[in-house]
Amino acid sequence: MPGSYQNRAAGFEALLAKLIHRAGWQVKNPSKSEDSGVDLVARHGNKAYLFQIKAASEARKDRALPLISQAILEVHRAVSRFPGKAIPVAVFAADHVSESLAEQIEQFAAHNAPDVAIGIIDASGFRRFSGHGLEAFNAKRSSSGAMESVQNGSPSGNLFSDLNQWMLKVLLSEGIPESLLSGPRGHYENASQLADAAGVSVMSAFRFVRQLSQDGFLEESDGLRLVQVEDLLERWLASQKRVREIPVHWILRGQKNSLHSVVRSYVAKMRSRPSRSRRAQEEPLRKELPRICVAVFEAAEMLGFKFVHGVPQHFYMEYLDPAVLYELGLSMQNANDKVAGAYIRIPENPESIFRAAVERDGLPVSDVLQVWLDVSRHPARGKAQADVIRKKVLSHLFRIGRA
């Protein structure tokens, strides 16, 4: 698919740019408006290098040679239009490139385009360059995880960033019914497959997989398999920050009883609009409407796990928009915890929340993992509610990979 290819290519492009930058070279990504026809422009001393990168989902000869040929043609054309002298560099990238395939690519290029420098990179740190002094970038495959050679020495990332939480839900989704968590379900052999399924960049998935593996929560002997899941979930829970909650009240008496119908109308209006990507092209100045979904205890009830009674309604809203609040019949004016009829929660992890939300009676509702995370430390009998969800839905997950 074009989108998955773009994600994969962008991931390797970022990987190569970081590699070049760490070597002390100047590097930039040409903007689309420049129409340079290359992915990266690098400078070292008085020399300029133009890099054209082609990425493949599978490192096979019948895929690699046509792609390196295309890269050679495109970078040749870019050099002819570049202001001043420049060295063309064609790069092939894939998750894992064997030594034998790398040799075949080099031999093919040496025979057909001896004036072009050739690069081969993969996600495990393998780098093989030939021509114009680029051999200095060569490196053997790392045994310690994806992109370790580039990431070496950099601080650990946030295992529970927004997109990482979403990818965790994707990896855990096979053990959770679709009615309780929305997301792709399947077996993923590598980070690229996970990226395609989750709709994230390859680079994001590589970093996530690398950190899971480093922290002992992932085995890659038979695809991507989570282990020590109980420890992982407890660590995920401990990482949760206090969510900003805004008390609101109903503008009209009796509005509480009709809030669901108003939210349904709002959601229907959102869905009737073009996709976000289309709107960005067609209406670049038009403001996006914030996504919303039912949260916390009411979400638990709508998922079939009612336990706590008498707690105000909670909704996640992607960002605070007073006009949307008014449309829903809610107001922040003079609202406080004593008179709050509902609470609006502004999430730090919107992609994880809204991508995994399920639908109940026309309403988007937080997924069961999110509800478990949200209620676990809630003062209004949250732990008891979390224990119900853990016992009825998550208990088998806690046993996966237990020593």
Query: pLDDT by residue (tens digit) across 111-133?
Result: 999 999 999 998 878 899 998 88
The CATH number assigned to the domain holding 48 equals: 3.40.1350.10
Residue 153 inside a domain? The answer is no
pLDDT value at residue 269: 82
Domain boundaries, position 323: 244-398
Quick check: is 155 in a domain? no
In-domain check, residue 372 = yes
User: Do residues 218 and 250 share a domain?
Assistant: no
Does one domain contain both 19 and 81? yes
What's the Cα-to-Cα distance from 23 to each of 48, 137, 289, rounded to whole Å? Answer: 15, 8, 43
Q: Assess whether pLDDT exceeds 60 at residue 149.
A: no
Residue 105 pLDDT exceeds 70: yes
Which is more confident, 37 or 301?
A: 301
- Residue 302 confidence (pLDDT): 93
Nearest 5 degrees, angle CA 241-CA 245-CA 246? 160
pLDDT for the residue numbered 377? 81
Gap between the Cα atoms of 14 and 21, Å rounded: 10
Q: How many CA atoms, within 13 angstroms, populate the side-chain half-sphere of residue 141?
A: 13
Q: How many CB atoms lie within 10 A of CB 219?
A: 15
What is the average pLDDT across 319-324? Answer: 86
On whether both 351 and 385 belong to a single domain, the answer is yes
Rounded to the nearest 5°, which phi and psi values hold at 116?
A: -105, 130
* Same domain for 92 and 40: yes
Measured CA to CA in angstroms, residue 215 lies from 219, 222, 255 at distances of 11, 18, 48
pLDDT of 45 above 90: no
pLDDT for 264 equals 85
- How far is Cα 125 from Cα 146, in angstroms, rounded to an integer? 7
In 146-272, alpha helices (H): 148-151, 162-172, 191-198, 202-214, 229-239, 255-272
156-168 pLDDT, tens digit per residue, is 468 899 999 999 9
Position 10 pLDDT exceeds 90 = no
- The tokens for 382 are 């949250």
Residue 403 maps to a domain: no
User: 216, 239, 262: which is the final residue of a domain?
Assistant: 239
Residues 273 and 390 in one domain: yes
* Residue type at position 106: E
Query: Cβ neighbours of residue 394 under 8 Å, at least 6 residues apart?
Result: 176, 233, 368, 369, 372
199: pLDDT strictly greater than 80: yes
**Structure tokens belonging to residue 265:** 């109308």
Same domain flag for 21 and 115: yes
Whether 320 has a pLDDT exceeding 50, the answer reads yes
Residue at a domain's end among 239, 255, 282: 239
Tell me, what's the pLDDT at 367? 97
Please report, for the domain that includes residue 216, its CATH number. Answer: 1.10.10
Q: Is residue 149 assigned to a domain?
A: no
Residue 86 forms part of a structural domain: yes
Identify whether residues 18 and 139 lie together within a single domain.
yes
pLDDT of 138 above 60: yes
pLDDT of 189 > 50? The answer is yes
In this predicted model, which residue has the larger pLDDT, 275 or 51?
51
Lowest mean pLDDT among 68-77, 90-99, 257-266, 290-299: 257-266
Q: Is residue 151 part of a domain?
A: no
Return the pLDDT at 275: 59
Q: What pLDDT does residue 307 have? A: 79
Is the CB of residue 54 less than 8 Å from the CB of residue 70? yes
Residues 322 and 393 grouped into a single domain: yes
234 and 252 assigned to the same domain: no
Q: Total domain count for the chain? A: 3
258, 383: one domain: yes
How sure is the predictor about 185, in pLDDT bands with cuts at 50, 70 and 90? very high
Pick from 148-157, 211-220, 353-362: least confident: 148-157
- 28 and 90 in a single domain? The answer is yes
Q: Average the pLDDT over each of 123-132, 208-217, 236-245, 304-313 and give the range with the smallest value.
A: 304-313
Where is the domain boundary, 206, 221, 239? 239
Instruction: For residue 185, give the DSSP letter.
Output: -
Task: Please report which confidence band the pLDDT of residue 276 belongs to, taking 50, 70 and 90 as the band edges.
Answer: low
Residue bearing the bigger pLDDT, 222 or 147: 222
Kindly tell me if the per-residue pLDDT of 286 is higher than 90.
no
Q: What are the helix (H) ranges across 312-375?
A: 322-327, 350-356, 368-375
Mean local confidence (pLDDT), 79-89: 90
Average the pLDDT over 251-260 and give the result.
65
Residue type, 201: S
Q: Count Cβ atoms below 10 Å from residue 364 Cβ, excluding itself.
A: 23
Task: Output the six-digit token pair for 353.
Answer: 């929340």
Residue 157: inside a domain, yes or no?
Answer: no
| Residue 37 near residue 53, CB atoms below 8 Å | no
What single-letter amino acid sits at 252?
A: L
pTM, whole model, 2 decimals? Answer: 0.60
72 touches 112 (CB < 8 A): yes
Q: In this structure, are 214 and 279 located in the same domain?
A: no
**Of 81-90, 228-237, 334-343, which range is least confident?**
334-343
